[in-house]
Amino acid sequence: MTARAFPKARADALAAKLELDVNKGICHACLCFVSFALDDGDPAEIARQTRHMTSELWHEGLAEQALAAVRRAVELGVPDAGAALADLERSGGRSGVARAIVRRLAADLLRRTRIEMHLEAVARDRLRLAPPELN
């Protein structure tokens, strides 16, 4: 199987099953480019930002986490994990699996950011109710 032969849908499905941590070895500033594209929803921009940022993220620390997560998936018998590991080992940050992992992490970051923004908005209205000495 060549790096191009690993279908995006299968890579995305595998990435969804991996044990990944958006706070481990990932530059949030870099990942935000992909998160913003996901938030906008333009497939061409998502693909462009993902291609551009995956290689950077891979070399800045994603490689260790991604390879460990896929190796663990292989041990657990997750479908496509063996082929995904071969794809990552062969193509690294240029692989379809690495891009799927970046999209997954960007979606995680986007979801977390939305939750934090919502909590902040809810809390802001209630802060005036708290005694000043507790702020």
Give tens-digit pLDDT for 30-59. 999 999 999 999 999 999 999 999 999 999
**What is the structure's pLDDT at 56?**
94
Mean pLDDT of 97-123: 90
CA distances from 62 to 41, 71, 84 (A): 24, 14, 15
Residues in the chain: 135
Using CA atoms, how far apart are residues 29 and 54, in angstroms rounded to an integer?
Answer: 13
Using CA atoms, how far apart are residues 127 and 88, in angstroms rounded to an integer?
Answer: 48
- Pick the more confident residue, 80 or 6: 80
- For 70-102, the pLDDT digits (tens) are 999 999 999 999 999 999 999 999 999 999 999
Mean pLDDT of 118-131: 74
The answer to whether residue 2 scores a pLDDT higher than 50 is no
Other CB atoms within 10 A of residue 64 CB = 11
